[in-house]
Chains A and B, each alone.
Chain A
Amino acid sequence: MKPERKPELLATAPSFLWLVMFVLVPVAIIFAIAFRPALPAGGIGEGWSLNAIRALADPSYPALFARTIFVAALTAALCIATALPVAYAMARLTPVWRSRVLLLVIVPFWTNFVIRVFAWQQVLHAQGYVAEALRFLGLLGDNDRLLGNLAAVTLVSVYTYLPFAILPLFAAAEKFDFGLLDAARDLGAKPLRAFYSVFIPGIRQGVITAVLVVFIPMLGSYVVPDMVGGTGTQMIGNKIAQRNFTDRNLPEAAALSGALALLVLAPMFLRRRAKEA
């Protein structure tokens, strides 16, 4: 029996059309507006122009892109390194404790993002307890600041993305057969060796998901470098916002966004290729 098409179309149309209109078309518009001239008052001119594309040759951009990729990669690496033992420990808990701890991990991820970053701004403040304690111990100079550098941006980024890394790793670890670790130990592997050679390969899919859910959004990071970073820690997202809201040059903001979109999509296409191969 050939299934009728009409119910399928009726159920699919609302979300399909909405997403075409408000996701696909807008992303296409980014690439179109990158080729438009900018008007002085912040508008978009008629006709076509390569000015915004040429502006991508800005001498400060290679460093900006390198810094963005570096911070995103470092944050992803630190998140995975921390989340692996956490996921392992959670998977070994009794079911009751497992769901309790899972809730404790999820709650900070549900709390307001701006507030979490603000809380860190207060903690790392120049007159805060942490800075005073470090000064007392002689670890921080009188004029040194904890905020405004890449270390602060990375620390707070790890804080905001760590739950995203823990969840897929925990989901994978929960399905892992821990008998394999005992077997590895019985065969003489040290605990650390068993962890690297048996546990991590066993939850490989979870590790890949965790890397992607941290690395990709981090490439578009904007709030954290804006709030706890300084002039030397700008990422691509900050530059897009600056072109957009301060310089009022929409075509240049669009060109930069287009470049970021390609940077984000590249690893996904590479992955698809790798999967098909």
Chain B
Amino acid sequence: MKPSRVPLITLILVLVFFYLPIGFLVLNSFNNSRFASKWSGFSTRWYERLGDRPDIIAALGNSVKVATAASLVSMILGTAAAFALHRYKSRLQDTHRLLVTVPLVLPDILMGMSLLLLFISFGMSLSLFTIAVAHITFCLSYVALVVQARLQDFDFNVVEAARDLGATKVQAFLKVTLPLLAPGILAGGLLAFTLSIDDYVITYFVKGPGSDTLPTLVYSMIKKSKDLPVINALSSIMLVVTFAVVAVSQRLTRPAPVA
């Protein structure tokens, strides 16, 4: 009997469904008309308009600052967490594992709301700093997840060998363990960077006045229906950057070719 074609057709339709709205948005960013429903010729004027928007440039700067801080700190905390979870089996690690999982399952709105209440209770003023703290918190768990997956196929005998050959613990860690795990840690950091750049809900709750990131600025522009074609152009650039990041991280996470 011939296998059914229904699954394959569903797969193709789903891929079309995934890319159609994105494609429509990119196409419209080159539309000379300010209305999405009328095509009135090719134009790059919305891209040119981006340059005259200091608020967009400032928000982009904020996003990059927060994402850099969040990915660096969560890479350190997340890698340490992954090591502890992988190496030790104890009650402490069971609790630790539960704690690492909570940010992965907690809906964003609860995370944003609870952190806002924490900052208010401790009298901290909301700023880029509070945004970075919030981002580190959810990025940490994702980095731990990625590095843990990497540790599964890590051969600790190599570290033992280095120790037998006279390396100190610190030397073995810096010269053997870290370089071997670097691709996994970097992939975790890249994931953290994109998650941080992408986040809207949590940021919206913990941002102070004037500390807009790109998603919160774009969101308020959409809500006010202001400069929608400019948002199209900005979105298209962000899409291209995302595709580039995905391509790089694919290279990093691809298993090393067997020589």
Which positions in A face B, CB cutoff 8 Å?
3, 8-9, 11-12, 14-16, 18-20, 22-27, 29-30, 33, 44, 82, 85-86, 88-90, 92, 101, 103-108, 110-116, 118-123, 125, 127-129, 132, 159, 162-163, 166, 185, 191-192, 212, 216-217, 219-223, 227, 237, 240-241, 244, 250, 253-254, 257, 260-261, 264, 268
Closest-CB distance, B96 to chain A (whole angstroms): 5
Binds A, one of B157-165, B174-182, B241-249: B241-249
Interface size in chain B (residues, C-beta < 8 A)? 82
**C-alpha spacing A29/B102, complex, angstroms:** 16
CA distance A225 to B92 in the complex (A): 40
- A244–B19 CA distance with the chains assembled, in angstroms: 35
Q: Are A118 and B4 in contact (CB under 8 A)?
A: no
Among the listed B7, B17, B22, which residue makes an inter-chain contact with A88, where contact means beta carbons less than 8 Å apart? B7
CB distance from A127 to the nearest CB of B (A): 5
Q: Are B140 and A110 closer than 8 Å at their CB atoms?
A: no
B56 at the interface (CB under 8 A from A): no
> In the complex, which of the residues A26, A121, A222 contacts B118, with contact meaning CB atoms closer than 8 Å?
A26
User: Do B107 and A220 touch across chains, with their CB atoms under 8 A apart?
Assistant: yes
Closest to A92 in B: B7
Query: A83 → chain B, closest Cβ, in Å?
Result: 8
5 pairs from A and B in contact (CB 8 Å cutoff): A15-B140, A85-B10, A110-B198, A111-B242, A192-B4
Q: Which residues of A contact B83 (CB under 8 A)?
A: 11
Q: Is the CB of A33 within 8 A of B121?
A: yes
Question: B-side interface residues toward A, CB under 8 Å?
Answer: 1, 3-4, 6-8, 10-11, 14-15, 17-22, 24-25, 28, 35-37, 76-78, 80-81, 83-84, 87-88, 90, 92-93, 95-96, 99-100, 102-103, 105-111, 113-118, 120-121, 133-134, 136-137, 140, 144, 194, 197-198, 200-201, 205, 215, 218-219, 222, 228, 231-232, 235, 238-239, 242-243, 245-246, 250
Provide the bound-state CA to CA distance between A122 and B34, in Å: 12
Verify B99–A19 contact, CB threshold 8 A. yes
Q: Is the CB of B113 within 8 A of A30?
A: yes
Q: Which residues of B contact A24 (CB under 8 A)?
A: 99, 102
Q: Which of A103, A166, A241 has the most CB of B within 10 A?
A: A241
| Nearest-CB residue, chain B, relative to A226 | B223
Cα–Cα, bound, A123→B10 (Å)? 21
Residue of A nearest to B81 (CB): A15
Contact A118 B25 (CB under 8 A): yes
Asked whether A11 and B84 contact (CB < 8 A) given A103-B246, A125-B36, A127-B35, the answer is: yes
Say whether B110 contacts A118, CB under 8 Å. Answer: no
Distance between B95 CB and nearest chain A CB, rounded to angstroms: 8
Partner of A86 from the list B10, B37, B218 (CB cut-off 8 Å) is B10
Note all chain A residues with C-beta closer than 8 A to B17: 159, 162
Residues of B near A88 (CB, < 8 A) are 7
Contact (Cβ within 8 A) B242 A112:
yes
Contact B113 A8 (CB under 8 A): no
A84 to B93, CA, bound (A): 35
A192 to B194 alpha-carbon distance, docked (Å) = 40
Q: Report whether A244 and B10 are in contact in the complex, using a CB–CB cutoff of 8 Å.
A: no
Nearest chain B CB to A241 CB, angstrom units = 7
B232 (CB) vs chain A CBs: closest residue = A122
A51 to B249, CA, bound (A): 50
Q: How far is the CB of B172 from chain A (nearest CB, A)?
A: 13
Pick the contact of B24 from A8, A108, A119, A254 — CB < 8 Å?
A119
Q: How far is the CB of B159 from chain A (nearest CB, A)?
A: 13
Specify which of A30, A114, A192, A220 lies most central, judged by the most chain B CB atoms within 10 Å of its CB: A114
CB of B105 to closest CB in A, whole Å: 6
Residues of A within 8 A of B134 (CB): 22
Assuming the contacts A15-B96, A89-B8, A127-B36, asked whether A240 and B113 have C-beta atoms less than 8 A apart, the reply is: yes
Query: Are the C-beta atoms of A118 and B235 separated by less than 8 Å?
Result: yes
- In the assembled complex, the Cα of A119 lies from the Cα of B222 at a distance in Å of 11
CA distance A219 to B194 in the complex (A): 24
- Given A8-B88, A18-B77, A82-B14, A107 and B242 touching (CB < 8 A)? yes
Q: Let me know if B7 and A89 touch, CB within 8 A.
A: yes
Q: Whole-angstrom distance between the alpha carbons of A101 and B18 in the complex? A: 12
B109: contacting residue among A14, A103, A129, A220, CB under 8 A:
A220
| Complex Cα–Cα for A8 and B95 (A) | 14
